[in-house]
Structure 1
Amino acid sequence: MTFTIDFLDDGRVLHWTATEDGATATVDAAYTPRFFVASRDPAAAPDLTPLQSFYERHPDVVETAIVTRRPGFRRDPEPVLAVDVEHIDRVPTIARQARQHPAFPLGDLACFNVDLSPEFRYCLETGIDPTPAAELHTLRLSVPATATEGEPYEAVTLDERRIEGDPTEILPAIQAAIDRRDPDVLVCSSSQVVPTLYEMASNAGFADFNLSRWPDVDYQQLASRSTYASYGRVGHSPARYNVPGRAIIDESNTFFYGETNLDGVLDLVSRSRKPLQELAWASIGNVLTAIQIREAHDRDVLVPWNSWRHEFYKPMGTLHDADRGGFIFAPDVGVHDDVYELDFSSLYPNIICTRNVSPDVIRCDCHRDREDVPELDYAICDDRGYLVDVLNPIIDARDEIKAQIDRERARADPDADRLRELGGRSDALKWILVACFGYQGFSNAKFGRIECHEAINAYAREILLTAKERLEAGGWRVLHGIVDSIWVTPDPTTDEPADLETLAGAITDAVDIRLEYEAHYEWVAFVPQRERQAGALTKYFGKVAGRDECKIRGIEARQRSTPAFVEATQRACIDRFAETRDPDAVLTVLDTAVSKLYAGDLDPQRLVERNRVAKPLEAYSQNTQNVAALERAAEQDLSVHPGQDVAYVVVDDEKTSRDRVALAREDPDSYDPAYYETQLLRAVESVLAPLGWDRERIRRERSDGRTPELSAFDDGRLTDSTR
């Protein structure tokens, strides 16, 4: 089957099929992409003849036709205008002209199937399945993270083999690997590797260099780099490139490949019909949309270009009740013994499926008098919603994969490769299920509706309250609960609490969603918020019962910006606390770490901080460490775009100039120990805060003549071996 698709400038399409001996290309010269135009108002039936006549005279339009389709899940089939375009790149421009046609008042017409990604569109319209039938051959091509964009590489790594030298040594080695392996997939540390290598080949006069499988095209640029904002965070999307005949996975611009593996990505390819290269750079919402579009396509429903769904009318009281999230029980700050964590299995996706929450059936006209949704009294139609058909197969598939993982692990000699494959597939489906709820309230969702988002939250609140009431009635005390997880411990006022497994089964039957045993902890520490004593909702750590491990969530050791040495110190403190439950033992670990800082024998690379840049250098008004790092980068002609990370070591935090920090790529040989001591104190405060200790108390205890003990590190957690 096809695994990648190329669009040539002359309009021809190449779809490539992987074989044991390489790949074969099929040329499609007759393909023409199609979009549709219909009335925005389902009650109106405008005459589309003037628009059809306009498009029939358009030089970029191949054919037009009046066909019958459904412009929405809530609309019956009706006549719409289909427009076949000569080249895929022209679809948005030509579609825009429909909305500007003088024969129709502005806003009367809507366009459909316009902004589909090219490879996905081709598969959808031609019925091609892009799931590879043969195993794909891959080659990983990476360059050092410190490589400057646009400059020739001095080293590259081909899979595990590192090659150093000038272009006359590097390029032939890459070409030899390409010729020998003939990979179907190029896994690049950045897709910028592709144009840079070709530029190196041109400057070095290496005319035989070629990554492509198609003789007439070396590579294509598919998109320029861009900066975007999502949920309050700034992100950066690098430029995307294509090499004909090979799928490119850009490790700097891939979610699913980074969070799962190739098996997980290919599982989603089979479900979404979104080819490998497009799926690798796609977001969770983008892939979920593709799966939804497949379901819509099977029902003859068109895909809107822009979302225009209005909210249904709500009285003020309903609006107040609807504008809430999932239920949260504030954590009981402190250290608690004998704690059990229970999770509802895929709570939000299962709410959608068991309660039939779907944009096409919520608040239907046929059941206006019903009050199905708790608190909100929305009606939900008895007809099966399309979203249920989208998610049910994914839920069932993940449950089956998890069962296969359990069976494989139970074998005397489990197959590591099989477990890796199943784990990747399970994780890929998990992310789709995680996102399906929030996507219903996303303003740009193709088929979302805010009322679905509100209804799912209302059901989730009711379910968690039901679980709390039944657990407490069974003799268990609830320590914390958030959205779909709940932590309990035996109630000391109860002589003998009910069997937890039996109780979880009863709750499962009551809410029709499985309540699963997630973990048992010898103890759990819930961490307070930094500036107040209220519990932080997602910060805790605990000793897993029967295992030599601690589970850590939310605190510094789990934060991406934390330097490696600070993370290692905090983990060592937690381990020592688990062994002794003694704050003094934790402070001994801290004292030794601080001594190592001031002794100056730490590798500065273990103190590197990585922070995301939110805006261009000139937009900052304060002299922060990030600004100092950006100034150093600009001084060295390095481009750091909003949404990208900047990595640095603080070398003198008293300064306000660019000399305050050194970039990680500069390989600094010094650091500011006082600054990193503060970072260590902050990390250790998170460990001792559940006991009521704040940073000031930690400082006081340390100033009372304490002497660091190297024996605190006899397990090697913070020795040079961990660098």
Structure 2
Amino acid sequence: MPFTIDFLDDGRVLEWESTPDGAVVTERDAYTPQFFVGTRAPDADLDVTTLRAVYDRHPDVVATEVVSRRPAFRRDSEAVLAVTVAHVDQVTPLARQTREVSDAPIGDLACFNVDFSREFRYCLETGTDPTPSGELTTLRLGVPLPETTGDVYSELTIDGEDVTGPPREILTAVQAAVDRVDPDVLVCSTSQLIPTLYEMADRAEIDSFSLSRWADVEYQQLASRSTYASYGRVGHSPTRYNVPGRVIIDESNTFFYGETNLDGVVDLVSRSHKPLQEAAWASIGNILTAIQVRTAHDRGVLVPWHSWRHEQFKSMRTLHDADRGGFIFAPEVGVHEDVHELDFSSLYPNIICTRNVSPDVIRCECHRDRSDVPELDYAICDEQGYLVDVLQPLIDARDEIKTEIQDEQERNSPDGNRIAALEGRSAALKWILVACFGYQGFNNAKFGRIECHEAINAFAREILLTAKAQLEDGGWRVVHGIVDSIWVTPDPDTADANRTPISELAATITDAVDIRLEHEAHYEWVAFVPQRDRNVGALTKYFGKITGEDAYKIRGIEARQRSTPPFIADTQRACLEQFDATRSPEAVLTVLADALSDLYEGRVAGERLVETNSVSKPIDGYTQDTRTVAALKRAREHGLAVHPGQDIEYIVVDDERTSRDRVALAHEDIETYDADYYGTQLIRAAESILSPLGWTRQEIRRSLRNTRDTELAQYT
């Protein structure tokens, strides 16, 4: 089975397979992809006489044929026009011509199987499984941030070892590593490294330098850089490159490799049939769509180029009831003793599978008088939906992997490598399962449907209310609950002898709702944090001590936020430990005061004060002089290109300024920092720990002034 696939300009396809003796290539020269043209409306007559005549004369079209296919899951097989194309790069341009040359009214015709990535299309149409058949060899190449500004590198890391020197020495070291390892996978800190190395070789007149396994092609540019928005966040996609015979993983442009590991990405390859290089840069939705497309293909269903699903008619009452999210029990601000956290295992995916929630069966015509979804008048067909076929194998696989992890951890000599591989696979599946619910409401989803999104929420609300009622009947008090998790503590009005054990209640609720309720954690205590300037519980901010372990669970507060400097995060953790040991606000303030002393006396290293923030727009798009803008101005002065969606790291050196001198970039030599700015951050972090006890930032400052000497108090 090939682990990577290359397309040559002349139409040939190269399949590369990993073997114990190295990579083996197979040439294919007869691949001709297809797309389809059909009617948008069911049972409409297809008349593509004019369109077919135009395509038959087109030099990039190999053949046309009227065939029978299903244009949608809810439609039977119909006549569609199959267009066979000479080269994979011509599929989209030819599909765009459909409206231009067809004599059918605009909106009557639709194109299918158009916007697949070329490697995925090849695997889908030829039945090729791109899962690597053997262990892959890997080589990592990295470039420090300051080096990325120029077209010549003087410093490089090769599998973690630093190499410095003139271009010839750098290139010699890279070539030696490539020849020695012969990597199947090149992990690069930035994809721009590939063309830069070749440009360096050209300038140094080194004709023998090559990263490629195919002598005729050194590298290819697959896509230019772009900026995109997803779920309210701006992302940056850098230029993508391809080196024949090797998988390129760009660490600056990979979600799954960064969140899991190579084993996790390979697991997704086996399920989506997206080759490894594609799977590495793909988004969660991209992989989920690929798995859905495979399921559609197996059922003979075509994939629409542009989704045109309409929302079915709803009454005003139904619209009101459907426009709700998951159920939430607002957390009780404060510190709670002896708390149990219970989570429904993969709640939304399991709702889909146990309740058969799928776009092709929701609100079916054959059961239109039936109301299967609580609170809503939606019927669900008895025929199993395709989404169940997509998700149930993922749920089962993750459960099996989690069991394997537990078994390995309980062995006398656990295999750390095997545990890491299993955890990577589990994490990859978790991200797919997390996204499957939201994707049903995504307007560009190939097979999503808003009614599925609404039905899943309705079932989830019913399930959480059922759990709450049974837990309270069993002698427990709910102190917080959100979507799929619920926190309970013993109800003081119930005698211990009359209280049903948590494990027994979890089993009873599991049987009642047909989804496993798992005991996630037992805490000695949990503190729920209020919202800023309000005594209302923040839904996702809490911290607690796990019973029987020297460990804490932290969510939402500064120590968990990626932008928080290490010094602030470490101080907050120290405050938390002191809080656990003493339950004394005064003891926590002692930790804070010591940190403030270190800060104001200059004993904190600059690298421990680095903030990391994501850039959301070009520098000219900002209207306020924020610290991020100051950092972008400074980066521009240094010749560093930081695009929307990328991170920028800096240290605040004078927060009173609005110019680029407000901050210093993380890689610069830092001689000073703004102690007042970071002191405010320290106090805010301490407030997160003490606010469940009713302490405010003002009270913390007042207490510091009353207990510390004047020299320190003047800064707080």
Calculate the TM-score normalised by the size of structure 1.
0.97
Structure 1 residues 455-464 or 38-47, which shifts more? 38-47
Is 1:80 aligned to residue 91 of structure 2? no
Cα gap change, 1:531 to 1:99, in 2 (>3 Å): farther
Structure 1 residues 299-308 or 631-640, which shifts more? 631-640
Quote the RMSD (CA, aligned, Å).
1.2
Query: How big is each residue's C-alpha offset from its partner over 1:259-313, in whole Å with a ceiling of 9 and x where there is no partner?
Result: 1111111111111111000000001110011111111000000011011101010
Distance 2:64 2:555 in 1: 57
Residue 642 (structure 1) shift: 1.1
Provide the residue aligned with 1:714 in structure 2.
Answer: none
Is 1:303 aligned to residue 303 of structure 2? yes
Structure 2: runs of 5 or more not aligned: 711-716
* Contact 1:605/1:667 (8 A) holds in 2: no
Residue 707 (structure 1) shift: 5.9
Residue 59 (structure 1) shift: 1.4
* Contact 1:343/1:484 (8 A) holds in 2: yes
Residue 256 (structure 1) shift: 0.9
Is 1:201 aligned to residue 201 of structure 2? yes
Provide the residue aligned with 1:445 in structure 2.
Answer: 445
Residue 593 (structure 1) shift: 0.7
Residue 637 (structure 1) shift: 2.1
AA aligned to 1:554 is G
AA aligned to 1:615 is K
Provide the residue aligned with 2:91 in structure 1.
Answer: 91
Provide the residue aligned with 1:693 in structure 2.
Answer: 695
* Contact 2:352/2:388 (8 A) holds in 1: yes
Provide the residue aligned with 1:554 in structure 2.
Answer: 556
Provide the residue aligned with 1:419 in structure 2.
Answer: 419
* Contact 2:344/2:518 (8 A) holds in 1: yes
Distance 1:30 1:523 in 2: 66
Provide the residue aligned with 1:537 in structure 2.
Answer: 539
**3-state DSSP of counterpart to 2:706:** coil
* Contact 2:46/2:80 (8 A) holds in 1: no
Q: How does 1:250-329 map to 2 (within 5 A)?
A: 250-329=250-329
Residue 705 (structure 1) shift: 3.0
Identity of aligned residues (%): 70
* Contact 2:599/2:675 (8 A) holds in 1: yes
Distance 2:584 2:426 in 1: 40
**3-state DSSP of counterpart to 2:528:** strand
Q: How does 1:224-623 map to 2 (within 5 A)?
A: 224-496=224-496, 497-623=499-625
**3-state DSSP of counterpart to 1:148:** helix
Provide the residue aligned with 1:55 in structure 2.
Answer: 55
Residue 377 (structure 1) shift: 1.9
Q: How does 1:109-124 map to 2 (within 5 A)?
A: 109-124=109-124
Distance 2:215 2:533 in 1: 63
**3-state DSSP of counterpart to 1:487:** strand
Structure 1: runs of 5 or more not aligned: 709-723
Residue 101 (structure 1) shift: 2.3
Residue 97 (structure 1) shift: 0.6
Q: How does 1:18-33 map to 2 (within 5 A)?
A: 18-33=18-33
Distance 2:53 2:220 in 1: 35
**3-state DSSP of counterpart to 1:269:** helix
AA aligned to 2:658 is T
Calculate the TM-score normalised by the size of structure 2.
0.98
Distance 2:612 2:413 in 1: 41
Residue 102 (structure 1) shift: 4.2
Provide the residue aligned with 1:160 in structure 2.
Answer: 160
Provide the residue aligned with 2:71 in structure 1.
Answer: 71
* Contact 1:591/1:707 (8 A) holds in 2: no
Distance 1:313 1:541 in 2: 45
Distance 2:78 2:594 in 1: 75
Query: How big is each residue's C-alpha offset from its partner over 1:469-524, in whole Å with a ceiling of 9 and x where there is no partner?
Result: 10011110001001000000000111122111001100001000000000000000
Query: How big is each residue's C-alpha offset from its partner over 1:15-59, in whole Å with a ceiling of 9 and x where there is no partner?
Result: 111111211111111111110000001121121222111100011
**3-state DSSP of counterpart to 2:306:** coil
AA aligned to 2:88 is I
**3-state DSSP of counterpart to 1:479:** strand
Structure 1 residues 696-705 or 640-649, which shifts more? 640-649
Residue 160 (structure 1) shift: 2.5
Residue 646 (structure 1) shift: 1.5
* Contact 2:47/2:104 (8 A) holds in 1: no
Query: How big is each residue's C-alpha offset from its partner over 1:363-408, in whole Å with a ceiling of 9 and x where there is no partner?
Result: 0000000000000120000001000011111111111111111111
Query: How big is each residue's C-alpha offset from its partner over 1:531-550, in whole Å with a ceiling of 9 and x where there is no partner?
Result: 21111111100001001111
* Contact 1:334/1:527 (8 A) holds in 2: yes
Query: How big is each residue's C-alpha offset from its partner over 1:649-694, in whole Å with a ceiling of 9 and x where there is no partner?
Result: 1111111211111111223221000010011111111111111111
AA aligned to 1:696 is Q
* Contact 2:223/2:241 (8 A) holds in 1: yes
Provide the residue aligned with 1:721 in structure 2.
Answer: none
AA aligned to 2:376 is L
Residue 145 (structure 1) shift: 3.0
Query: How big is each residue's C-alpha offset from its partner over 1:136-192, in whole Å with a ceiling of 9 and x where there is no partner?
Result: 111111111332334322211111222111211111011011011111000111111
Residue 12 (structure 1) shift: 1.1
Provide the residue aligned with 2:36 in structure 1.
Answer: 36
Distance 1:393 1:543 in 2: 35
**3-state DSSP of counterpart to 2:430:** helix
Provide the residue aligned with 1:716 in structure 2.
Answer: none
* Contact 2:613/2:649 (8 A) holds in 1: yes
**3-state DSSP of counterpart to 1:81:** strand
Distance 2:99 2:18 in 1: 42
Cα gap change, 1:102 to 1:429, in 2 (>3 Å): closer
AA aligned to 1:391 is L
Distance 1:434 1:613 in 2: 25
Residue 585 (structure 1) shift: 0.9
AA aligned to 1:305 is W
* Contact 2:185/2:246 (8 A) holds in 1: yes
AA aligned to 1:541 is F
Distance 1:542 1:277 in 2: 40
Residue 600 (structure 1) shift: 1.0
**3-state DSSP of counterpart to 1:367:** coil
* Contact 2:229/2:235 (8 A) holds in 1: yes
**3-state DSSP of counterpart to 2:338:** strand
Provide the residue aligned with 1:712 in structure 2.
Answer: none
AA aligned to 2:591 is V
The count of aligned residue pairs is 709
Distance 2:701 2:133 in 1: 63
**3-state DSSP of counterpart to 1:585:** helix
